[in-house]
């Protein structure tokens, strides 16, 4: 697909620009759907119904929200550092958006078939921290600064367990290429790494518990990386008002939100690729190929997005030091031990 | 050893309680909502509900009891005495109305819906309705005027009272001239023009 | 304000404490409270509460009223989430001044109403506490149940929040016909909901970790500061005016005084204060059940005085509001207007403890502590 687009615009940068814009075609509708999903799910969990008026069961409400945000006055506080203040939301969004380059949506589409796909993912998602720190500092608001500092500490420390988990996967798969990773697991549900991967039965059974623990570590760490409850410490609305994006309004605020939701899908997609076979159909070659791939990928991704939403509306929030405790004293050791054991299993069997 | 049990205990406890909590929220995902779609669906108000006040001016005898009972002084009543030849009619409970009520304003913006004005009214003409949607853009629109008298009517009533007062004053002078014995009679005449005391509320 | 910290390399690092305002418009100060924080990073060095943003001159207002009855709507507005309990305290004080006996039915209905109100008020305390800790869902569950109590109140007296229901010497209305059956239904449902709340929030490990061992208030400090209500009982002091100095007809009912036991942390921590409220809701249900079983007949307005004109003198009466000991001191000069009214509001006294117990905690803990004190600014500022 990428090649096809490039051949349409030979010797021109236009082709690349179009390729860059392709994930937007996914992110924008996805964000609308997720906003709707989150509102509806949270409402029903709380015995409410959420929006009902705009369109059938309020389906048009996300559009209305976006329209509202577009029209809203874009306030920049007088004492803010204007340049950084304006730049910050875009940096946050770029950091998130860049991860979409290596997400294998189908067996035939991946933005950039990097051999270092996973490595790139871990690296580029840290860019978000810079944007958040910028926004917190530039807002010239003490609460925002708190949020930004917390966020930086949080994202940086949760990258360690994520990296360890992904490293274990790389050890098993022997590749960092996201497309190949999915390819390896395309033999149906039993080939997924969460169920031990495409190995002989003994090895599979030995790997299975370790993979399950790794999966839990990854799920927790990914939640922390997208700053959502129980790890929404950077925005902790009851403590920090709204955290790093307190002073933002209008479109800039919308971009923060878009980035948050896009990031949510990105981390879910990483989990899907690493553990749940990427675009692979659970039934092997049945219902696979072409649009089915996209269907499975998005479905699995959305499943984890929903789990995130579900947890968010169930749990209270951790405290800053407890957050660090979870990262450094629980997730990291567990991931490390699993990684070592996996290495042993791979060598011994 | 203790620290290790605590460490793993914490982890298992967290996982356990988180799954219990998730179970609760999951169950609620499928329980029917308790909220209603407000402006289209409305809750039935109980008959005692206290909302906007209404005054049935046909029954009001202008006794000022409600205004006195109000803790925020949001009822403003002005009265004009009626002359003996005026017939203001009777209230639905059969009481004779003796006072014109040219001004009966309730500042609903100030009203705290305590209901204290409702109880002392002798004719039960001030009462709470179940209207609760009456927001306004201008606070002055919330001053409700219940009085029905037109300016012309007010003026005639005032002129009549003035005339009557002059007559009474003239009578007074005349009576004063007569003698000290007439004093008792004089008292009786002035008393008739004061408002009748309302009956005690039940 | 400047401290010099030595780093591990032996060099000195200059850090500065930061003064930051929490409130008056802050989500976790439960109203217009301003906490001036001195923070060193995330650590709170000092907390100075500033109050008065909601001051409405309650006491002076009351002294301007033309009769005692008119004070009650103002009393309602002191502790606006527990108006019934405020009304009861005031009514008892005024009745003491007037030396009137009230019919038994009135007392029973008052107890039912006050216990319902206690549940409603604790539901707010618990729900908003959940929000302070970051759990949003329990809040709406609590409000769902509170709505049903408010429906009962509206059915009885016509108002949902500021009732003007308990009058001096009686009540404004008798119970409506459907009241008792609806109440019974509610009790059955609510027992289940308490269990669900415990599953979802009270025993959630994250919640426990956030509240246990935080803001520990030792019993002696609590007593010295004059704390009352769940604040005091959370520290393990068995002191409840309903039991220790029974007013109205509380001595006829069988219930327990819930105290904190330090189950998951230290005695007197935030979790203890929280769980005392949860347990008290259960006890209130017990009281209500007993009261509706033995509800006597009678006329609720028979003792309402036509004219309230107490002899010169003074009276003080106190009652256990959901926040603690709420007392009213009334002084009469023999006219229909109270000469002086003074309120002893529990929230105000309880609030004073904040700076004592939150030094050295983190900002997130401060939210937990403020929430566990359960202040209502309407009552703090009056
Ligand atoms: S309801 Fe209360 S505040 Fe309103 S007018 Fe009547 S007495 Fe005054
Ligand atoms: S108490 Fe009733 S009759 Fe008297 S002035 Fe008020 S509304 Fe009119």
Give B101-162 as a 3 state SS string: EEEEEEECCCCCCCCCCCCCCCCCCEEECCCCCCCCCCHHHHEEECCCCCHHHHHHHHHHHH
In three-state secondary structure terms, C92 is: helix
* Atom from ligand 1 closest to the CA of residue B110: 3
The Å distance, Cα C191 to ligand 2 centre, comes to 47
Give the per-residue pLDDT at A1.
64
Residue in C18, C132, C141 closest to A238 by CB: C132
**Min Cα separation C289/chain A (Å):** 27
The Å distance, Cα B111 to ligand 2 centre, comes to 16
Residue with the smallest CA separation from ligand 2 atom 6 is: B66
Q: Which residue has the tokens 């660090």?
A: A324
Q: Which is nearest to A166 in space by CA: A175, A157, A179? A: A175
Q: What percent of chain A has pLDDT over 70?
A: 97
Interface membership of B42 toward A (CB under 8 Å):
no
Residue B195: pLDDT over 60: no
Between chains, do C69 and B113 touch, taking CB under 8 Å as contact? no
Between chains, do A315 and C367 touch, taking CB under 8 Å as contact? no
**How far apart (Å, rounded) are the C-alpha atoms in residues A16 and C328?**
77
Between chains, do A313 and C204 touch, taking CB under 8 Å as contact? no
Task: Answer whether B65 contacts ligand 2 (Cβ < 6 A).
Answer: yes
Name the token pair of B4: 């290790």
Q: Which is nearest to A247 in space by CA: A86, A70, A31? A: A86
The Å distance, Cα B118 to ligand 1 centre, comes to 8
Q: What percent of chain C has pLDDT over 70?
A: 96
In three-state secondary structure terms, B166 is: helix
For the segment A300-327, the average pLDDT, to the nearest whole number, is 86
**How far apart (Å, rounded) are the C-alpha atoms in residues C101 and B104?**
39
Name the token pair of A151: 């966020």
Q: What burial class does residue B135 get, using C-beta atoms within 10 Å of its C-beta: 0-12 exposed, 13-18 middle, 19+ buried? A: exposed
**Mutate which of B115, B117, B131 to test chain C, going by most C C-beta atoms within 10 A?**
B115
Cβ contact C30:C372 at 8 Å: no
Q: Flag whether the pTM goes above 0.80.
A: yes
Q: How confident is the model at residue B189 (pLDDT cuts 50, 70, 90)?
A: low
| Beta bridge partner(s), residue C36 | C21, C48
Between chains, do C196 and B24 touch, taking CB under 8 Å as contact? yes
For the segment A76-98, the average pLDDT, to the nearest whole number, is 85
Between chains, do A313 and C207 touch, taking CB under 8 Å as contact? no
Q: How confident is the model at residue B198 (pLDDT cuts 50, 70, 90)?
A: very low
Q: Which is nearest to C87 in space by CA: C64, C60, C66, C106? A: C106
Pocket test for ligand 2, best of B60, B74, B115, B118 (most atoms within 8 A of CB): B60
Residue in A42, A229, A239 closest to C364 by CB: A239
- Measured from CB, residues less than 6 Å from any atom of ligand 1 are B 53, 69-70, 72, 74-75, 106, 111-117
A203 or C143: whose pLDDT is higher?
C143
Q: Which ligand is nearest to the CA of B92?
A: 2
Q: What is the mean pLDDT of chain A?
A: 82
Contacts of residue B70 in chain C, CB cutoff 8 Å? 70
For the segment A3-28, the average pLDDT, to the nearest whole number, is 76
For the segment C23-32, the average pLDDT, to the nearest whole number, is 78
Least confident interval from A251-265, B73-87, C68-82 = B73-87
Long-range contacts, B139-144 (Cβ 8 Å, 24+): B139/B109, B142/B107, B142/B108, B142/B109, B143/B105, B143/B106, B143/B107, B143/B108, B143/B109, B144/B53, B144/B105, B144/B106, B144/B107, B144/B108
B34 or A189: whose pLDDT is higher?
B34
Residue A241: pLDDT over 80: no
Q: How confident is the model at residue C4 (pLDDT cuts 50, 70, 90)?
A: low
Give the per-residue pLDDT at B187.
61
Q: Which is nearest to C72 in space by CA: C351, C335, C300, C338? A: C338
Contacts of residue C308 in chain B, CB cutoff 8 Å? none
Residue in C144, C162, C200 closest to B21 by CB: C200
Question: Which phi and psi (to 5°) does residue C222 adopt?
Answer: -60, -45
Residue B200: pLDDT over 50: no
Least confident interval from A184-198, B119-133, C135-149, C286-300 = A184-198
Contacts of residue A136 in chain C, CB cutoff 8 Å? none
Between chains, do A143 and C20 touch, taking CB under 8 Å as contact? yes
The Å distance, Cα B116 to ligand 1 centre, comes to 6
Task: Answer whether B126 contacts ligand 2 (Cβ < 6 A).
Answer: yes
Residue C357: pLDDT over 60: yes
Task: Answer whether B60 contacts ligand 2 (Cβ < 6 A).
Answer: yes
**How far apart (Å, rounded) are the C-alpha atoms in residues A190 and A188?**
6
The percent helix, strand, coil of chain C (3-state, each to 5) is 50, 15, 35
Distance spanning both ends of chain C, measured CA to CA: 35
Give the per-residue pLDDT at A323.
85
| Beta bridge partner(s), residue C34 | C50
Residue in C42, C134, C362 closest to A238 by CB: C134
For chain C, how many helices (H) and strands (E)?
Answer: 15, 10
Q: Which is nearest to C121 in space by CA: C311, C319, C278? A: C278
Cβ contact C378:C362 at 8 Å: no
The Å distance, Cα C254 to ligand 1 centre, comes to 39
Pocket test for ligand 2, best of B125, B196, B201 (most atoms within 8 A of CB): B125
Cβ contact C153:C163 at 8 Å: yes
- How many Å separate Cα A59 from the centre of its chain? 24
- DSSP classification of residue A331: I
Contacts of residue B31 in chain A, CB cutoff 8 Å? 47
Interface membership of C74 toward B (CB under 8 Å):
yes
Residue in C73, C156, C203 closest to B114 by CB: C73
Of these ranges, A16-30, B84-98, C26-40, C78-92, the one predicted with the greatest mean pLDDT is C78-92
Q: How confident is the model at residue C8 (pLDDT cuts 50, 70, 90)?
A: low
Residue A20: pLDDT over 50: yes
Give the per-residue pLDDT at B14.
84
A-to-B residue pairs, Cβ atoms closer than 8 angstroms: 40
Between chains, do A315 and C135 touch, taking CB under 8 Å as contact? yes
Question: Which phi and psi (to 5°) does residue C25 adopt?
Answer: -105, 85
Nearest CA in chain B to C167: B116
Q: Which is nearest to B63 in space by CA: B91, B23, B28? A: B91
C331 or A230: whose pLDDT is higher?
C331
C59 or A3: whose pLDDT is higher?
C59
**How far apart (Å, rounded) are the C-alpha atoms in residues C229 and C280?**
11
Residue C11: pLDDT over 70: no
Of these ranges, A275-284, A315-324, B84-93, the one predicted with the greatest mean pLDDT is A315-324
Q: Tens digits of per-residue pLDDT, C258-283? A: 888 878 888 888 888 888 999 899 98
Residue B174: pLDDT over 50: yes
Give the per-residue pLDDT at B197.
43
Chains within contact range of chain A (3+ C-beta pairs < 8 Å): B, C
For the segment B143-147, the average pLDDT, to the nearest whole number, is 83
C164 or A4: whose pLDDT is higher?
C164
Q: How confident is the model at residue B193 (pLDDT cuts 50, 70, 90)?
A: very low
Interface membership of C54 toward B (CB under 8 Å):
no
Task: Answer whether B123 contacts ligand 2 (Cβ < 6 A).
Answer: yes
Q: Any idea of the CA torsion for C105, C109, C111, C113, to the nearest 10 degrees?
A: -170
Cβ contact C101:C107 at 8 Å: no
* Atom from ligand 2 closest to the CA of residue B61: 3
Give the per-residue pLDDT at B201.
44
Pocket test for ligand 2, best of B53, B59, B65 (most atoms within 8 A of CB): B65
Q: Walk me through the domains of chain C, giving residue ranges and CATH numbers.
A: 2-48 (no CATH), 58-381 (1.10.645.10)
Give the per-residue pLDDT at B179.
64
Task: Answer whether B53 contacts ligand 2 (Cβ < 6 A).
Answer: no
For B94, left (φ over 0), alpha (ψ -120 to 50), or beta?
A: left
Report chain A residues touching chain C, CB-CB < 8 A.
42, 45-48, 142-143, 146, 229-230, 232-233, 236-241, 313-322
**How far apart (Å, rounded) are the C-alpha atoms in residues C265 and C272?**
8
Q: What is the mean pLDDT of chain C?
A: 85
Q: How confident is the model at residue A233 (pLDDT cuts 50, 70, 90)?
A: confident
Residue C83: pLDDT over 70: yes
Between chains, do A241 and C27 touch, taking CB under 8 Å as contact? yes
Q: How confident is the model at residue B49 (pLDDT cuts 50, 70, 90)?
A: confident
Contacts of A218 (CB under 8 A, 6+ apart): A161, A162, A165, A270, A271, A274, A275
**E strand spans, C103-175:** 166-167, 170-171
Give the per-residue pLDDT at B74.
87
The Å distance, Cα B147 to ligand 2 centre, comes to 12
Residue A23: pLDDT over 50: yes
Residue B43: pLDDT over 80: yes
Between chains, do A310 and B31 touch, taking CB under 8 Å as contact? no
Between chains, do A146 and C204 touch, taking CB under 8 Å as contact? no
**How far apart (Å, rounded) are the C-alpha atoms in residues C190 and A283?**
47
Contacts of A205 (CB under 8 A, 6+ apart): A196
- Burial code (b: 16+ CB inside 10 Å, e: under 16) for A284-306 equals eeeebeeebbbebbbebbbebbe
Residue A161: pLDDT over 70: yes
Q: Tens digits of per-residue pLDDT, A183-197? A: 777 777 777 877 777
Instruction: Kindly give the residue spans of alpha helices, DSSP state H, lying in B32-83.
Output: 65-69
Q: How confident is the model at residue C3 (pLDDT cuts 50, 70, 90)?
A: low
Q: Which residue has the tokens 């005091």?
A: C232
Residue C7: pLDDT over 60: no
Nearest CA in chain B to A326: B11
**How far apart (Å, rounded) are the C-alpha atoms in residues A223 and A220?**
5
β pairing state of B143-145 and C2-6: unpaired
| Beta bridge partner(s), residue C342 | C329
For the segment A22-48, the average pLDDT, to the nearest whole number, is 85
Contacts of residue A311 in chain C, CB cutoff 8 Å? none
Q: How confident is the model at residue A167 (pLDDT cuts 50, 70, 90)?
A: confident
Q: Tens digits of per-residue pLDDT, A115-142? A: 888 888 888 888 888 888 888 888 888 8
Residue with the smallest CA separation from ligand 2 atom 8 is: B60
Cβ contact A202:A290 at 8 Å: no
Least confident interval from A156-170, A185-199, C197-211, C296-310 = A185-199
For the segment C76-88, the average pLDDT, to the nearest whole number, is 88
**Min Cα separation A221/chain B (Å):** 15
Contacts of C159 (CB under 8 A, 6+ apart): B49, B50, B113, B115, C153, C165
Interface membership of B8 toward A (CB under 8 Å):
no
**Min Cα separation B159/chain C (Å):** 34
Q: Which is nearest to A237 in space by CA: C31, C53, C364, C143? A: C364
């Amino acid at each position: 697909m990428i090649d096809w687009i490039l051949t349409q615009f030979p010797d021109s940068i236009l082709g690349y620009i179009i390729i860059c814009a392709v994930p937007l075609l996914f992110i924008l509708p996805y964000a609308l759907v997720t906003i709707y999903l989150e509102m509806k799910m949270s409402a029903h969990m709380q015995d409410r119904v959420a929006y009902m008026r705009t369109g059938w069961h309020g389906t048009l409400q996300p559009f209305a929200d976006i329209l509202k945000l577009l029209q809203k006055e874009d306030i920049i506080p007088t004492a803010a550092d204007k340049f950084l203040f304006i730049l910050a939301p875009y940096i946050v969004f770029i950091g998130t958006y860049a991860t979409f380059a290596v997400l294998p949506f189908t067996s035939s589409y991946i933005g950039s078939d990097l051999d270092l796909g996973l490595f790139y993912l871990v690296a580029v998602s840290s860019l978000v921290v810079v944007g958040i720190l910028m926004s917190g500092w530039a807002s010239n608001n003490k609460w925002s600064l708190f949020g930004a500092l917390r966020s930086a500490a949080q994202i940086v420390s949760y990258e360690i367990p994520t990296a360890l988990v992904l490293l274990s996967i790389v050890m098993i798969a022997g590749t960092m290429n996201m497309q190949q990773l999915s390819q390896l697991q395309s033999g149906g549900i039993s080939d997924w790494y969460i169920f031990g991967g495409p190995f002989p039965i003994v090895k599979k059974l030995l790997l299975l518990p370790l993979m399950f623990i790794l999966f839990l570590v990854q799920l927790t760490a990914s939640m922390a990386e997208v700053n959502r409850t129980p790890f929404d410490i950077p925005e902790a609305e009851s403590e920090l008002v709204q955290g790093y994006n307190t002073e933002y309004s209008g479109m800039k605020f919308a971009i923060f939100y878009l980035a948050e939701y896009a990031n949510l899908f990105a981390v879910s997609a990483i989990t899907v690729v690493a553990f749940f076979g990427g675009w692979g159909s659970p039934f092997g070659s049945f219902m696979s190929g072409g649009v089915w791939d996209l269907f499975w990928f998005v479905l699995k991704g959305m499943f984890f997005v929903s789990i995130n939403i579900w947890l968010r509306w169930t749990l209270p929030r951790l405290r800053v030091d407890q957050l660090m405790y979870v990262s450094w004293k629980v997730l990291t050791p567990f991931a490390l031990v699993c990684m070592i054991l996996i290495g042993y299993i791979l060598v011994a069997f | 050893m203790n620290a290790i049990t605590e460490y793993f205990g914490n982890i298992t406890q967290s996982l356990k309680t988180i799954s219990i909590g998730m179970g609760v929220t999951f169950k609620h995902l499928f329980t029917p909502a308790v909220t209603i779609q407000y402006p289209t669906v409305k809750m039935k108000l109980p008959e005692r509900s206290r909302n906007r006040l209404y005054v049935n001016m046909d029954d009001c005898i202008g006794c000022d009891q409600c205004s006195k009972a109000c803790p925020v002084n949001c009822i403003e009543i002005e009265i004009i005495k009626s002359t003996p030849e005026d017939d203001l009619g009777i209230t639905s409970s059969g009481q004779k109305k003796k006072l014109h009520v040219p001004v009966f304003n309730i500042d609903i913006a100030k009203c705290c819906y305590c209901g204290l004005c409702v109880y002392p009214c002798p004719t039960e003409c001030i009462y709470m309705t179940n209207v609760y949607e009456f927001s306004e853009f201008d606070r002055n629109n919330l001053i409700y005027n219940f009085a029905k008298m037109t300016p012309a009517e007010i003026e005639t009533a005032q002129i009549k009272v003035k005339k009557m007062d002059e007559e009474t004053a003239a009578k007074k002078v005349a009576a004063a001239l007569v003698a000290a014995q007439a004093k008792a009679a004089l008292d009786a005449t002035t008393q008739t023009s004061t408002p009748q005391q309302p009956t005690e509320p039940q | 304000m400047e401290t010099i910290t030595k780093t591990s390399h032996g060099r000195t690092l200059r850090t500065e404490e930061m003064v930051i305002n929490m409130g008056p418009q802050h989500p976790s100060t439960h109203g217009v409270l301003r906490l001036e924080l001195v923070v060193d990073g995330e650590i709170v060095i000092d907390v100075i509460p500033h109050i008065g943003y909601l001051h409405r001159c309650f006491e002076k207002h009351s002294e301007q009223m033309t009769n005692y009855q008119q004070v009650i709507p103002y009393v309602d507005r002191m502790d606006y989430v527990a108006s019934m309990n405020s009304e009861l305290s005031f009514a008892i004080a005024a009745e003491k001044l007037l030396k009137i006996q009230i019919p038994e039915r009135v007392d029973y209905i008052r107890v039912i109403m006050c216990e319902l109100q206690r549940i409603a008020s604790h539901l707010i305390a618990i729900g908003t506490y959940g929000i302070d800790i970051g759990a949003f869902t329990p809040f709406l569950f609590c409000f769902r149940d509170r709505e049903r109590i408010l429906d009962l109140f509206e059915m009885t007296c016509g108002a949902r929040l500021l009732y003007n229901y308990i009058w001096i010497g009686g009540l404004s209305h008798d119970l409506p016909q459907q009241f008792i059956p609806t109440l019974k239904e509610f009790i059955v449902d609510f027992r289940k909901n308490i269990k669900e709340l415990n599953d979802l929030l009270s025993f959630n490990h994250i919640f426990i970790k956030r509240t246990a061992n935080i803001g520990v208030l030792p019993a002696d400090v609590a007593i010295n500061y004059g704390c009352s209500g769940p604040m005091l009982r959370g520290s393990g002091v068995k002191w409840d005016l309903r039991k220790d100095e029974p007013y109205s007809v509380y001595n006829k009912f069988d219930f327990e005084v819930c105290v904190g036991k330090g189950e998951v942390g230290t005695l007197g921590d935030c979790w203890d204060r929280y769980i005392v409220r949860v347990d008290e809701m259960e006890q209130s249900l017990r009281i209500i059940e007993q009261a509706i079983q033995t509800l006597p007949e009678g006329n609720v307005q028979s003792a309402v005085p036509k004219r309230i004109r107490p002899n010169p003198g003074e009276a003080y009466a106190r009652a256990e509001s959901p926040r603690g000991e709420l007392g009213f001191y009334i002084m009469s000069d023999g006219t229909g207007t109270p000469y002086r009214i003074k309120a002893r509001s529990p929230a105000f006294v309880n609030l004073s403890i904040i700076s004592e117990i939150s030094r050295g905690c983190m900002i997130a803990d401060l939210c937990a502590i403020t929430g566990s004190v359960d202040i209502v600014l309407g009552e703090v500022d009056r």
